[in-house]
Amino acid sequence: MSKSESTGATDTGALEIKDTRTGKMYTVPILEAGTEGDTTARAMDLRQIKQSDDEFGLMTYDPAFMNTASCKSAITFIDGDKGILRYRGYPIEQLAEKATFLETAWLLRKGELPNQQEYDSWVHDITFHTYVHENVKGFLQGFRYDAHPMSMLCSTVAALSSFYPDAKNIQDPEERNISIIRLLAKVPTLAAFCYRHTKGLPFIYPDNDLSYVENFLSMVARMSEPKYEANPTFVKALEVLFILHADHEQNCSTNAVRAVGSSHVDPFSAVAAGIAALYGPLHGGANEAVLRMIKEIGDPKNVPAFIEEVKGGKGSRLMGFGHRVYKSYDPRAKIVKKLADEIFKETGIDKDLEIALKLEEAALNDDYFVSRKLYPNVDFYTGLIYRSMAFPTEFFTVLFAVARTAGWLAQWEEMLLDKEQKIARPRQIYTGHPERSFASQLGNARGNAIPHVRST
Ligand code: CMC
């Protein structure tokens, strides 16, 4: 076993590849690059495989990154078959039970748990950067009353980059630090402002006496009372949900943040890209989709017919089920289900929860779902919890975004400090026309269209 000079990884053997086109043999090292025994081969090692010197060389083809590691990361570990999720080595179950969200955010970024002094100054800095420039309020007023809060959040986070032009100095550790603090501090404020805008309610300024979660709930829900006192069960639940959603290694939105950040744009723009990716119904939008699905089912007695529709491929998928990585119960879903039980003890069980329970039971006992290893994911019960806390459905993914900002920023900084990373720029397999000569298909020679005004 030898050490590879270029990767620092241990060489645990090699692939002997024979190109049947040329009869040539190639040796490609197998690298054990991870602490949990992940093995890889470098795609660039295949480039040497070619039929002639002027050929580009063999590429790998992997749509949707089904089997491609795009980076090395020391932040989050997932074993999808065993249902394991750890941040920096700590099991998610322990963090959910014992940590605070800001402690978790520090851990994700720095790699170790903060001591008291580090934690106090981290919390202080984040607390005192929660205010946003007054112009942001004017900007939000430009959105229509029914604008989706994820569209608003995405645009306002992107707009923050224009307020902090120095944030583009991403190689300066001080600038990176203040940008990270600003994002963690201001995303909840922007999220709450988006909520207030959709409700036509005045914006509530941050209250620096409150904890991160309490302050967020205050900005969302405070009315005429001078001091907002949040329901402690809801505060605890949201703290846990934020921890569960804080990171999830190379998911779609994190990959978006890393890819966009790899162009060395400022972190506000990179995080806005993550929010855009999270908005989609196959990613963070799934918790919203679960509730819509439950509403559509309408009654527990309609569950068997709905399951048959899903299996027949006629209706939609069973939202909140399945995961690209987890092929057993999503460990976050277990914690969320327990949390849901505690919340519903307080708020009561309703028909929607009954539908959800029946759906879960039906799917877990149905060969279609069992054989495809489709288990409830984190989004299956979170929507029901959020709704029982009186958040509107459109707001669920915003809550996810507030929490995931911690992971996006940790991953963004790790990417920047990784000497092996360059601008993300995949290859393609071109399937279009070979070269051909231009011959206009329009009536007049240069194709000058007559300008006309289109209705919008
Ligand atoms: N309901 C019914 N069938 C499903 C589902 C589902 N939710 N998910 C996958 N399948 C079937 C799929 O039709 C396919 O069947 P077949 O082999 O017969 O064609 C098989 O399972 C494999 O599906 P896939 O699309 O190849 O799996 P994937 O790894 O590409 O997709 C997923 C993962 C999460 C996009 C998908 O399971 C899904 O669409 N789930 C519903 C949406 C959802 O809950 N998303 C939240 C994900 S967790 C939070 C997050 O990451 O944001």
Over residues 92-110, the pLDDT tens digits come to: 999 999 999 999 999 999 9
Indicate the pLDDT class of residue 5, thresholds 50, 70 and 90.
very low
Q: Which of 374, 384, 397 should be mutated for ligand 1, with most atoms under 8 A from CB? A: 374
Query: Does pLDDT of 4 surpass 50?
Result: no
- Annotation says 323 is catalytic: yes
pLDDT at 344: 87
pLDDT at 11: 61
Dihedral angle computed from the Cα positions of residues 328, 330, 331 and 336, in that order, rounded to the nearest 10 degrees:
-140
**Minimum CA distance residue for ligand 1 atom 21:** 372
Query: Does pLDDT of 2 surpass 50?
Result: no
Instruction: Using a pLDDT cut of 90, give the percent of the chain over it.
Output: 80
- Annotation says 81 is catalytic: no
| Spacing, Cα 176 to ligand 1 middle (Å) | 36
Q: Which atom of ligand 1 is nearest to the CA of 372?
A: 21
**More confident site: 357 or 153:** 153
Q: Which of 251, 303, 317 should be mutated for ligand 1, with most atoms under 8 A from CB? A: 317
Q: Which atom of ligand 1 is nearest to the CA of 251?
A: 51
- Structural domains of the chain in order of their starting residue, each with its CATH number: 2-65 (no CATH), 89-420 (1.10.580.10)
Over residues 189-222, the pLDDT tens digits come to: 999 999 999 999 999 999 999 999 999 999 999 9
pLDDT at 381: 87
Dihedral angle computed from the Cα positions of residues 370, 373, 376 and 377, in that order, rounded to the nearest 10 degrees:
180
Q: Which of 372, 382, 400, 408 should be mutated for ligand 1, with most atoms under 8 A from CB? A: 372
| Spacing, Cα 289 to ligand 1 middle (Å) | 13
Over residues 374-399, the pLDDT tens digits come to: 999 988 889 889 988 989 999 999 99
**Secondary structure of residue 85 in the 3-state scheme:** strand
Say if residues 411 and 252 touch (Cβ distance below 8 Å). Answer: no
136/404 Cα distance (integer angstroms): 22
181/124 Cα distance (integer angstroms): 10
pLDDT at 7: 47
Instruction: Please enumerate in sequence order all residues whose Cβ is within 8 A of that of 207, keeping only pairs 6 or more positions apart, or say none.
Output: 215, 218, 219, 227, 228
CA quadruple 208, 209, 211, 216: dihedral positive or negative? Answer: negative
**Minimum CA distance residue for ligand 1 atom 35:** 282
Indicate the pLDDT class of residue 430, thresholds 50, 70 and 90.
very high
pLDDT at 9: 52
Average pLDDT for residues 7-14, to the nearest whole number?
66
Say if residues 300 and 355 touch (Cβ distance below 8 Å). Answer: yes
What is the phi-psi region of residue 337: left when phi exceeds 0, alpha when psi lies from -120 to 50, beta otherwise?
Answer: alpha
Query: Does pLDDT of 165 surpass 80?
Result: yes
The active-site residue out of 245, 323, 330, 352 is: 323
Q: Which residues partner with 10 through β-bridges?
A: 3, 32
pLDDT at 8: 47
287/117 Cα distance (integer angstroms): 37
What lines the ligand 1 site, CB under 6 Å? 251, 282-284, 286, 310, 317-324, 372, 374, 377-379
| Spacing, Cα 373 to ligand 1 middle (Å) | 10
Average pLDDT for residues 176-185, to the nearest whole number?
98
Q: What is the DSSP string of 235-292?
A: HHHHHHHHHHHS--SS-HHHHHHHHHHTTT--HHHHHHHHHHHHTSTTTTTHHHHHHH
pLDDT at 3: 42
Q: In 3D, which of 136, 110, 412 has the Cα closest to residue 267?
A: 412
Query: Does pLDDT of 428 surpass 80?
Result: yes
